[in-house]
Structure 1
């Protein structure tokens, strides 16, 4: 068997092993993306000279059908990595929020304890004053007083002091209750924070395994096979875009960008050529939702961090009504997002190994469109 065939066989075996380790795909779409034809039998590992990136003269050419199977497997692996990246980003966002809440609660506890100490001092002083003035019955103190008016005024102040003391006691009780609640809330948030940290680590491991499996699969290909694979990817994208445009949809899309939308588009296009990195929000690297969220932050609008939350929380609009700056959400699980920039094109951070680039809006499976601004 030629080195091209051997390498492709190794690639298929590597993917099967990777998928066995990783478990079933996250979504139905991911499982559909991976062909179900029987896996070729393992073959001996080629020597270093046999995997140098140049096919030997007697090698059997790898067919386009076989490369298409590799393309679909890669698509499935990177899709699952994108799903795991969204889970990682969501856990990170929640952890950051919970950490800030814990800090706020800590401040509340400190302030509450200081307030409680002050109230206890005031109540102690009031009690001592009442004790010093409360040794004789009121009628005896009136009889002994040289100035009855002074006595009556003093009695009135005593009553006011007693009422104030009751108020201090009530406030102290409420402060103690508040402190207990703050402590319970802080404990609950610590538990959630720990759970989100574990979720982040789990997602991180899943991302790394999926990307490693994809990179290993690509590494098994010869140079000419990689070129043909890239050509197949481009052809598949062009076919999808052509089918989308043939529907006549572009004739219906004529929305004009708002000032905020223009700012978001400018920010995104200024990032052209920067590498994709999962979990990244710039300024040097981005993942898909990191790019869109930062672009809109630059335009003065805070939007959710992940593509799934962008789909869930932002206003949905009909695709024919979209305008530059709107976000197109892709795949049935909302695992990818791109920004519409007009003329049927989007800018996005595609996947590991790629850079921020412009692509046809219809090159991927569109779930829907959301609008960050009013």
Structure 2
């Protein structure tokens, strides 16, 4: 069998500048790879991404980048005829450029991505753990009301939740979506027009396209936004919060569970989501006790989360639930007081505390 070598770039001569440049680049890559491997070797297991989260985060990030890429390209080529829009090839090149540049390594973006993925995985696992003959409760009851704002919101929640799975695009918070759009615009600029006479025209078209995409985006269709509306409508049902919370978790509706706790405690959803997803954070049990839930309800919620998240220890859970349930609700609420403060204020307090401890 013959092999066509016509497209293979010949190796540079050993005494050429190109050879030395490639050797230096290989050495640098090797050093960077070793540093990453050493860092990973000494990292605690609790600080590592598990394989399922890693794969889902990669698929979700890629899906978001591709969806936003298609949106931007369509908007720009409508303004600047003649631009190369050869789809997959440009998309792959742009994604490689973004990964290599470090633009995607922004903590706020990655935190939101990991939270979105972990929340979806938790919901999927809770649904998988549900008994096959278990009857639907919370959303089915609300939808059965037929003609009401609550029923409409419940139906919208079911639709939005059905679109959510690891690897599906969209549903990132607007600031993260905007970060990805501007990063994609910079990479497309680099691909299309960097240094050419068309650069000012392409720059303006890209900036206009990003602004138009941001303006056209409706955050009201995002699952978390719908969950907030639904939780607000459900909040008027006196004495039903405990059953609503347990039912939401049993059915795998993690976004609704988070929204109900957030609304009841007047806390930001991102804060409550962090409490729910972090197996080491004891404040979730304080939050549930602050809602005046009894020990049996708190234990049921804890058991559901432990069954769905192998990182949780049932013995530790029992101890923490017992401790939290013994507290008066107002004392549990005092333990959450800092969480109600504005984020910049909490960050400044934390920085001062760390400085004092040193």
Given the two structures, how large is their TM-score scaled by the length of structure 2? 0.25
Which has more helix, going by share of residues?
Answer: 2
The higher radius of gyration belongs to 1
Q: Report which structure shows greater RCO (CA 8 Å, sep ≥6).
A: 1
